[in-house]
Amino acid sequence: MGGRRHILHDVIRKSETVTLTVGDKSASKTVVLEEPIDIYLEIDDNPYNSSVHDCSKHIESLRNSVVACNAAEVAHKIASTQQIGKHISKGFLGYITASLDMQNMEECSNVEAVVAELQSQSDELANRKLVMIDDYDILTTRYSAVFENLDRELVQRIHMLMEPCFRFVESSRKEQLRNTDSSLSAMALVGHKEQLDVQARISAITVKQRAAGLIESAKQYLLGQKQLASHIEHVLIGGCKNARWMLPVVVVEKTVAGGSKETEVVMNEQTARMGVNDWKVRQNVQQASMPAMTQEDKQRIGKHLEREIQRLGSSEHEKRVAGMMRKLAGNFLS
């Protein structure tokens, strides 16, 4: 702000010699003269202060602008980073989901094929088991009578060959019975009775031990059977039922020169072994009515075909094959 300012205070001194002459006499005296000096300076600094104030305002505004710009840039970077992260996560999850879906479809197809094969083998084994049971019953019935006749014949021959031995045994038994009827047999019977009591007790203890061992063995056997049954129930497919196995047969019909149609039947060896011939297949195809394909079926077949085409390689031949497959599929699914 403006105003009057005292900037200098000083005293001016000067010595003067004054000579006074009175008559013929003169006298001189040195006189010191002093004059105080005060210098005041009045400055108008209002324009300078105003410019300084304006400059401060501009600097403050610039600082606020820089801070706001920095905050906006940081917020923009954070938003961009989050958006990029979302897109990356979404793309990765989509890729993983598609890959898992494809693997799941492949595994489901493999499992269905294996289940069908196992079911057919199970049916075949069941039929073989029934045939073997019938054969076993027939053989058992046939040879049981033969062995019974052989047993009777052998018994008779043994009696005929060993008749003297049998007679000796019979006579010895009668002699032993005769000795027990005498008066001296009482003492032998008492001693024999005591010996029999001891042997009976020993035999009873042995039988008890063996019975305990048999009970423990039966317990272990039953536990093993229970565990085996649980394992079998866990491994095998629950229930037993008849199933139908649909075998694929391909019928190709094409028009040859002259307008005549030629039909070709393609089937695997197992289908041929089951008694299915070309004439029967052609007859079934002629009698069958092919339903119209819905748009949903066309889309599903098209998606499956496109997945199979994507599995092809990148060679020129495979590219031509993929193009031909798409062309044929377009004519069929349009």
Tell me the CA end-to-end span of the chain in Å, nearest whole number: 93
pLDDT at 232 over 70: no
In this structure, how many other beta carbons lie within 10 angstroms of the beta carbon of residue 64? Answer: 10
Of 93, 104, 20, the residue nearest 307 (C-alpha): 104
Beta bridge partners of 30: 17
Q: How far apart are CA 333 and CA 303, in angstroms?
A: 11
Q: What pLDDT digit, counting tens, does each position of 267-326 carry?
A: 766 666 666 666 776 677 667 666 677 888 888 888 888 888 888 777 888 888 888 888
pTM for this structure? 0.24
Q: Is pLDDT above 80 for 69?
A: yes
329: nearest Cα among 297, 293, 305: 305
Residue 196 has pLDDT above 70, yes or no: no
Amino acid identity, position 209 = Q
Q: When comparing pLDDT for 240 and 14, which is higher? A: 14
Q: Side-chain half-sphere of 84: how many Cα atoms within 13 Å?
A: 6
Question: Binning pLDDT at 50, 70 and 90, where does residue 108 land?
Answer: confident
Distance CA 253, CA 264 (A): 6
Kindly list the domain boundaries of the chain, sorted by start residue.
Answer: 3-44, 63-161
Q: Which residues pair with 187 in a beta bridge?
A: none
